[in-house]
């Protein structure tokens, strides 16, 4: 077992009488409804293409050069309203959120009393504010092209363009045919359905036909007679929706479909325009998700041109976003791929079809962050530690790289256009939130802001990060949170908080070590709160993550039990009082642990749990489990609704009645099987909530869970 060098001490108390004067966290604090217990932030942005940064101070926007001792007024509310009045525009009560395109020019949106949304341009030097486009109140998926100020948006299932005050309707779709919105249930890094060409004269958009997908019944109970509100939910192994990519040419008024071929049940990902505005690229991922073709199409005719590259993986291929063409290039782009076991940057050429790895190592590039004008690419990675995120620049041609961020923690960095300076927003186990400027050599240049610790007056215990080894020798990180009045001579009950699934990492070098207020609240109530990031969780490489393929929950449980053995070496742990808690994939894991290790887990709570992967949607479910037809043994092994005969002790399942992600049928099928097996369990429903409980009701959820552990653990 390897002990990490740092132990995170949230707050230690020498005198009990002093500790009693501290504040206690509440369920309201833990439910995001008291902003005073979360670190405050302050926004700093680059002023257009310059090396000046801009920030708010009272009713002013101020700017400053790195290295300057004082800032200067860029725009005050009085100055802004003076410009607005001179241009016949109603005055503002506060400065709007302005996106600066140069040192003097920018744009902003304003919401009208009727809900309409107006795009305005601002010129400080020109003393002008102009209204460019106004969208109706029900406009959604608003997507701007900054060169032309054209705006694409959706109303219901249809797509529109606002152009110089005119509204162009692109589609008139029947029910269940949807334009311009996210598709494939937001998998494969898809977060929208509208893609402007670089010059803003053409618009690519998704058109999704869901008419062939099975209706899944959700119920609205707010009406006198409850109403059915069915959604289209493609379950694993069943019929999926069909997606096409269209390109609309504004000048010609033409709309063409890209000829992506058969079979139609494939996924269209990574939509990318070439800088020439005439070619568009689509990542064609087969339904089995083990083959990806990155194809080039003629955006004017829709014809297939060529395949730029072909990727295969025995388990699955998971695209991480679009291609990124080098500035001014129509032939070279950067792509993020996991071809050597880790996600890294690759340089591709559309003419030679050759590819070159730009940087490499046993770490994960978690994001591509842009280019400078000096032949460098920017990225964020786990190279320093899987717990940290640091920002780098790398020369695209020779691979020479510079680490920009130096302080331990998790960094989010925005470079200036020149690449001379970088605004670094970061958090760590000893810094709640801070902003500073680094220079291009990675040297700390100037502090801009550091948030006060909002919990300095609260009873917090000690948080410790450690590491253990999985069965295959891979390192697993653990986190223990102790009660604020911890006594090493007392044996404490333990709550194992678990997620365990893909795309999540619970233990990080961030404020509170990634635990948040909720887990610290549980610790305050007298529990040891323990977490281990098992194999299958995010950003540790292919071997670490793909071990779950076709057998979700199995290796994860082994790692959780390795964590239990580690816990039992602690003299302050009561091995007879161990519980588990988790939501979604974590609910699946918490229930799995309860069913498979009843002798270990006395009490378990599971929220929104996947109970049988046959009830889960195609895109996520088939990536990790294949279809029920292809993998019947895996589905049988991982199913929980046929194993309630093993249920012992106390189990509370919580589900939201209108959950569109893990549908209610999951936990109801488990409940039904428990009844048939004469097994008692506890069950609670949050009517009208979706995949989790938010808003003021979340405090109720937290108190519900806490009270269950108080009574039974």
Question: Where in the sequence numbering do the catalytic residues fall?
Answer: 584, 659, 691
For 367-394, give the DSSP string: EEEEE-TTSEEEEEE-SS-TT-BEEEEE
* CA 312 to each of CA 263, 286, 288, 315, 502: distance values in angstroms, whole numbers, following the listed order: 18, 10, 11, 9, 20
The tokens describing 164, both together, are: 């110089």
Sign of CA dihedral 343, 345, 346, 348: positive
Is there a contact between 584 and 502 (Cβ–Cβ < 8 Å)? no
Cβ-based neighbour number of residue 262 at 10 Å? 6
Q: Is the previous residue joined to 263 through a cis bond, with omega within 30 degrees of 0?
A: yes
DSSP state of 641: T
Sheet with 344-349, side-by-side order of all strands: 324-325, 332-337, 344-349, 355-357
* CA 64 to each of CA 68, 79, 553, 636: distance values in angstroms, whole numbers, following the listed order: 7, 19, 52, 62
Is there a contact between 597 and 558 (Cβ–Cβ < 8 Å)? no
Q: How far apart are the first and last CA of the chain?
A: 29
The tokens describing 403, both together, are: 């680490």
Sheet with 365-371, side-by-side order of all strands: 365-371, 376-381, 390-395, 401-403
DSSP state of 464: E
Write down the H helix ranges in 76-227.
Answer: 77-86
**∠ Cα 647 650 651 (to 5°):** 75
Cβ-based neighbour number of residue 127 at 10 Å? 12
How far is Cα 303 from Cα 652, in angstroms, rounded to an integer?
55
The tokens describing 389, both together, are: 């995120």
Is there a contact between 273 and 238 (Cβ–Cβ < 8 Å)? no
> What residue has token string 């602690």?
570
How far is Cα 313 from Cα 303, in angstroms, rounded to an integer?
28
**∠ Cα 518 523 526 (to 5°):** 135
How far is Cα 513 from Cα 515, in angstroms, rounded to an integer?
6
Is there a contact between 449 and 435 (Cβ–Cβ < 8 Å)? yes
In which region does residue 374 sit, left (phi positive, over 0), alpha (psi from -120 to 50) or beta (all else)? alpha
Buried b (16+ CB within 10 A) or exposed e, 504-536: ebbbbbbbbbbbbbbbbbbbbbbbbbbbbbbbb
Q: Find how far residue 569's CA is from the centre of its chain.
A: 35
How far is Cα 588 from Cα 582, in angstroms, rounded to an integer?
8
Is there a contact between 163 and 150 (Cβ–Cβ < 8 Å)? yes
Count Cα neighbours of 124 within 13 Å in the Cβ-side half-sphere: 20
**∠ Cα 384 312 541 (to 5°):** 20
How far is Cα 563 from Cα 534, in angstroms, rounded to an integer?
9
**At 215, is the secondary structure helix, strand, or coil?**
strand
The tokens describing 527, both together, are: 């529990």
Kind of pairing between the strands at 603-607 and 650-656: parallel
How far is Cα 386 from Cα 339, in angstroms, rounded to an integer?
19
């Amino acid at each position: 077992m390897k002990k990490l060098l740092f132990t995170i001490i949230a707050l230690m108390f020498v005198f009990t009488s002093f500790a009693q004067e501290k504040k206690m966290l509440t369920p309201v604090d833990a439910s995001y409804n008291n902003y005073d217990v979360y670190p405050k932030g302050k926004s700093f942005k680059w002023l257009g293409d310059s090396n000046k940064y801009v920030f708010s101070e009272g009713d002013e926007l101020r700017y400053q050069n790195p290295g300057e001792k004082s800032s200067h007024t860029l725009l005050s509310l009085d100055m802004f309203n003076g410009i607005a009045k001179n241009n016949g525009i109603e005055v503002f009560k506060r400065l709007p959120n302005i996106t600066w395109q140069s040192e003097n020019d920018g744009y902003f949106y304003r919401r009208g009393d009727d809900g309409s949304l107006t795009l305005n341009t601002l010129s400080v030097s020109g003393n002008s504010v102009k209204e460019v486009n106004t969208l109706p109140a029900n406009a959604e998926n608003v997507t701007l092209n900054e060169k032309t100020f054209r705006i694409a948006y959706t109303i219901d299932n249809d797509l529109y363009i606002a152009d110089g005050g005119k509204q162009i309707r692109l589609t008139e779709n029947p029910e269940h045919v949807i334009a311009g919105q996210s598709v494939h249930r937001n998998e494969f890094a898809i977060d929208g359905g509208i893609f402007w060409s670089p010059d803003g004269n053409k618009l690519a958009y998704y058109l999704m036909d869901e008419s062939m997908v099975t209706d899944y019944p959700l119920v609205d109970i707010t009406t006198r007679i409850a109403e059915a509100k069915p959604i289209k939910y493609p379950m694993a192994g069943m019929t999926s929706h069909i997606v096409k990519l269209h390109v609309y040419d504004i000048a010609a008024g033409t709309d063409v479909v890209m000829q992506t071929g058969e079979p139609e049940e494939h996924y269209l990902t990574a939509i990318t325009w070439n800088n020439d505005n005439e070619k568009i690229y689509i990542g064609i991922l087969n339904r089995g998700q083990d083959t990806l073709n990155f194809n080039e199409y003629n955006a004017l005719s829709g014809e297939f041109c060529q395949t730029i590259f072909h990727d295969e993986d025995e388990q699955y291929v998971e695209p991480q976003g679009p291609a990124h063409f080098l500035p001014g290039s129509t032939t070279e782009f950067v792509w993020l791929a996991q071809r050597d076991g880790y996600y890294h940057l690759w340089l591709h050429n559309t003419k030679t079809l050759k590819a070159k790895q730009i940087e490499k190592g046993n770490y994960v590039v978690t994001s591509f962050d842009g280019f400078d004008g000096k032949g460098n690419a920017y990225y964020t990675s786990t190279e320093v530690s899987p717990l940290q995120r640091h920002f780098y620049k790398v020369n695209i041609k020779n691979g020479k790289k510079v680490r920009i961020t130096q302080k331990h923690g998790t960094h989010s960095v925005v470079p200036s256009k020149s690449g001379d300076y970088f605004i670094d927003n970061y958090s760590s186990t000893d810094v709640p939130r801070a902003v500073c400027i680094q220079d291009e050599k990675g040297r700390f240049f100037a502090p801009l802001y550091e948030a006060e610790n909002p919990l300095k007056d609260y009873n917090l215990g000690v948080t410790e990060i450690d590491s253990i080894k999985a069965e295959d020798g891979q390192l697993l990180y653990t986190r223990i949170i102790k009660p604020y009045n911890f006594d090493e001579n007392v044996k404490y009950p333990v709550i194992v908080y678990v997620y365990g699934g893909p795309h999540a990492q619970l233990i990080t070098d961030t404020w509170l070590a990634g635990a948040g207020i909720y887990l610290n609240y549980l610790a305050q109530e007298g529990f040891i709160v323990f977490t281990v990031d098992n194999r299958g969780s995010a950003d540790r490489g292919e071997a670490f993550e793909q071990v779950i393929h076709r057998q979700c929950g199995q290796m994860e449980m082994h790692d959780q039990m390795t964590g239990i053995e580690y816990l039992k070496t602690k003299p302050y742990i009561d091995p007879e009082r161990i519980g588990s808690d988790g939501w979604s994939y974590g609910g699946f894991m918490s229930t799995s642990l309860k069913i498979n290790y009843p002798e270990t887990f006395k009490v378990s709570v599971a929220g929104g749990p996947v109970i049988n992967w046959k009830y889960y949607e195609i895109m996520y479910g088939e990536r990790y489990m294949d279809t029920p037809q292809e993998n019947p043994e895996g589905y049988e092994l991982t199913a929980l609704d046929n194993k309630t005969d093993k249920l012992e002790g106390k189990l509370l399942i919580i589900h939201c009645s209108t959950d569109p992600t893990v549908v209610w049928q999951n936990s109801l099928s488990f409940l039904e099987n428990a009844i048939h097996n004469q097994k008692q369990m506890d069950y609670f429903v949050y009517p009208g909530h979706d995949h989790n409980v938010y808003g003021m009701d979340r405090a109720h959820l937290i108190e519900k869970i806490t009270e269950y552990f108080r009574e039974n653990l």
